[in-house]
């Protein structure tokens, strides 16, 4: 094979795999309309009334969350639920002043008779999964709600979720939709909201209505404790312990319900370093879980349709290495096209545009379904698409670490109590202050793809220009934000050191 044919073959393989995962959006839209009459599984208002309430344990796993933890504690204690039936477990693995802040804050509530257990570990064995598992050993509740530190559960959360367990047989989990507290904070948070809405408004809801497996999202949900134990309890051999337990539970016959009309508000990452660590953990953990769980799915007697859906659900992050490969090959492919020797192949490549149409429709309906002002929101879709391309370096590294079984610690996503534009992450304790190696690659690819834009314009390859622009914009945006964060953080640190020296 010639060098040109090797490049073209690799390019076509990349686009084919991206088309496979991208076109899945059409499948979701098909089931969206097919199951629309079942859009909500909300109980009638009269069925939310209960004569007796069960004991519930609210678990709060955290690690170094000094800025947001008291906000969450207060919101849990404000829940409309009998005090004697509510237990709070603060599963604290912190190594900084967060532990002292918690102790000072809960003392007055304990004196008032609230059942609050502050369980502080001196090691992070098992990370979040380990903390949740230890908490379960002493949890009083028949049901266990889990909230990460950046959430503010609604007052009616328990009264709007508990009744489902008495209505449906073998119900193991009720998951609520995430709502975004600081969506309007910046371009980055607006774009994140688009991405998450695709998952929470379309993917989770449609999968649940169509009878496919869904996943607990790690927070904003409530489990029947018996289900957790029956499924094998929390396990720490992946970074997505929530996805892992979800599949094990559903494969044992437990049912899940997803509520799209009842939300749990949460804070989106406001700085690029936090977002990168979150995306890395989610991507790597999903691949680890896929390797662990999918062979069991294949060997099971589940219907073929469910097995195919599970494969796409678990392995969708495999798209990232091929996004990166397509970005690298775009420029040489344009140069090959100038030879005029492969016109038939290039005409065939136009079919891959349908994957982008699929993606657009997927996110369009995620906005139209729940937001009256969806037109103002969907305009950020191009930024989301470019950002997804820009994240391909960060997430490709995560994919390969997951495939190669390279173990790493659970790096939590720090939050800074950011709601409005008057708030800022600048100068906060947990902000990343070092450039990672991936940032240098992202910056290089930004320049590389800009060269591709110039060549595409100079040679009048009109079809290539939008793709080169998106890749260039994506890598430029991610590398710029990463460098900017480090520069700002180090400048503030230098100013603090100078003041202390005085």
CA 201/CA 25 separation, integer angstroms: 13
Residue 42 annotated to the active site: no
**Would you place residue 462 in the very low, low, confident or very high pLDDT band (cuts 50, 70, 90)?**
confident
421-425 long-range contacts (CB < 8 A, ≥24 apart) are: 421/184, 421/185, 421/186, 423/182, 423/185, 423/270, 425/270, 425/271, 425/274
* Mean pLDDT on 21-47: 85
CA 73/CA 66 separation, integer angstroms: 12
pTM of the model: 0.94
State yes or no: pLDDT of 221 exceeds 90.
yes
**Would you place residue 480 in the very low, low, confident or very high pLDDT band (cuts 50, 70, 90)?**
very high
* Mean pLDDT on 407-413: 87
Quote the pLDDT of residue 46. Answer: 74
Residue percentage of the chain with pLDDT more than 70: 97
> 86 pairs with which residues across the strands?
56
Phi and psi, residue 260, nearest 5°: -85, -25
Nearest to 381 by CA among 350, 356, 351, 354: 356
Give the number of C-alpha atoms closer than 13 A to the C-alpha of residue 237, restricted to the C-beta side.
12
Quote the pLDDT of residue 411. Answer: 85
Residue range 271-283, pLDDT digits in tens: 999 999 999 999 9
Residue range 68-118, pLDDT digits in tens: 999 999 999 999 999 999 999 999 999 999 999 999 999 999 999 999 999
Residue range 335-354, pLDDT digits in tens: 888 877 766 666 666 667 77
State yes or no: pLDDT of 234 exceeds 90.
yes
SS (H, E, C) 348-376: HHHHHHHHHHHHHHHHHHHHHCCCCCHHH
Quote the pLDDT of residue 405. Answer: 94
State yes or no: pLDDT of 457 exceeds 70.
yes
CA 307/CA 304 separation, integer angstroms: 5
Pull the structure tokens for residue 123. Answer: 């090691």
State yes or no: pLDDT of 135 exceeds 90.
yes
Q: How far are the Cα atoms of 125, 161, 236, 337 from residue 63, in angstroms, in the given order?
A: 12, 27, 16, 53
Pull the structure tokens for residue 417. Answer: 């109590």
State yes or no: pLDDT of 412 exceeds 90.
no
Residue range 291-324, pLDDT digits in tens: 999 999 999 999 999 999 999 999 999 999 999 9
Residue 104 annotated to the active site: no
Query: For residues 236 and 126, is the Cβ–Cβ distance under 8 A?
Result: yes
Look at 2-6, 36-40, 163-167, 357-361 and tell me which has the smallest mean pLDDT.
36-40
Look at 37-46, 251-260, 368-377 and tell me which has the smallest mean pLDDT.
37-46
Q: Which domains does the chain have, with CATH numbers?
A: 3-30+317-501 (no CATH), 54-314 (3.90.550.10)
Q: How far are the Cα atoms of 6, 182, 354, 355, 386 from residue 329, in angstroms, in the given order?
A: 11, 37, 20, 18, 17
Quote the pLDDT of residue 463. Answer: 81
> 176 pairs with which residues across the strands?
259
Residue percentage of the chain with pLDDT more than 90: 79
- Among candidate residues 148, 242, 244, 271, the one labeled active-site is 242
Average pLDDT, the chain: 93
- Among candidate residues 92, 93, 197, 244, the one labeled active-site is 93
CA 140/CA 300 separation, integer angstroms: 34
Pull the structure tokens for residue 128. Answer: 């979040």
Query: For residues 385 and 362, is the Cβ–Cβ distance under 8 A?
Result: no
């Amino acid at each position: 094979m010639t060098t040109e044919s090797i490049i073209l073959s690799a390019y076509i393989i990349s686009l084919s795999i991206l088309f496979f995962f991208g076109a899945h959006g059409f499948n979701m839209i098909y089931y969206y309309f097919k199951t629309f009459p079942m859009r909500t599984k909300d109980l009638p208002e009269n069925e939310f009334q209960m004569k007796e309430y069960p004991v519930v344990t609210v678990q709060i796993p955290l690690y170094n969350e000094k800025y947001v933890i008291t906000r969450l504690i207060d919101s849990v204690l404000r829940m409309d639920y009998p005090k004697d039936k509510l237990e709070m477990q603060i599963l604290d693995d912190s190594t900084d002043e967060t532990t002292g802040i918690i102790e000072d804050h809960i003392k007055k509530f304990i004196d008032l008779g609230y059942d609050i257990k502050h369980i502080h570990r001196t090691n992070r064995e098992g990370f979040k999964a380990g903390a949740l598992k230890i908490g379960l050993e002493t949890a009083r509740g028949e049901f266990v709600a889990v909230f990460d530190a950046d959430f503010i559960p609604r007052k009616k959360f328990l009264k709007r979720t508990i009744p489902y367990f008495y209505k449906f047989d073998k119900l193991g989990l009720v998951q609520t939709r995430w709502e975004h507290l600081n969506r309007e904070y910046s371009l980055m948070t607006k774009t994140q909201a688009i991405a998450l809405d695709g998952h929470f408004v379309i993917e989770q809801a449609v999968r649940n209505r169509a009878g496919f497996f869904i996943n607990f999202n790690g927070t904003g949900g409530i489990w029947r404790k018996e289900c957790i134990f029956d499924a094998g309890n929390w396990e720490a051999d992946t970074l997505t312990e929530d996805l892992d337990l979800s599949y094990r539970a559903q494969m044992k016959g437990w049912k899940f319900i997803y509520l799209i009309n009842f939300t749990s508000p949460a804070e989106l990452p406001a700085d690029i370093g936090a977002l990168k660590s979150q995306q890395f953990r989610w991507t790597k953990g999903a691949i680890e879980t896929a390797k662990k769980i999918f062979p069991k799915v294949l060997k099971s007697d589940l219907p073929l349709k469910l097995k195919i859906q599970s494969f796409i659900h678990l392995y969708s992050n495999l798209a990232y290495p091929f996004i990166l490969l397509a970005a690298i090959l775009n420029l040489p492919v344009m140069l090959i096209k100038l030879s005029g020797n492969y016109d038939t192949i290039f005409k065939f490549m136009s079919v891959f545009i349908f994957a982008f149409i699929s993606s657009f429709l997927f996110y369009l309906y995620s906005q139209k379904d729940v937001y009256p002002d969806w037109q103002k929101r969907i305009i950020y879709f191009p930024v989301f698409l470019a950002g997804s391309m820009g994240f391909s370096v960060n997430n490709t590294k995560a994919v390969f670490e997951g495939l190669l079984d390279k173990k790493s610690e659970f790096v939590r996503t720090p939050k800074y109590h950011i709601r409005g534009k008057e708030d800022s992450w600048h100068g906060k304790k947990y902000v990343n202050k070092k450039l990672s190696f991936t940032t240098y690659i992202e910056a290089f690819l930004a320049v590389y793809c800009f060269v591709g834009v110039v060549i595409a314009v100079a040679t009048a390859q009109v079809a290539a220009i939008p793709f080169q622009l998106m890749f260039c914009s994506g890598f430029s945006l991610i590398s710029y934000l990463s460098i900017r964060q480090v520069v700002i953080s180090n400048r503030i640190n230098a100013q603090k050191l100078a003041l202390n020296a005085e």
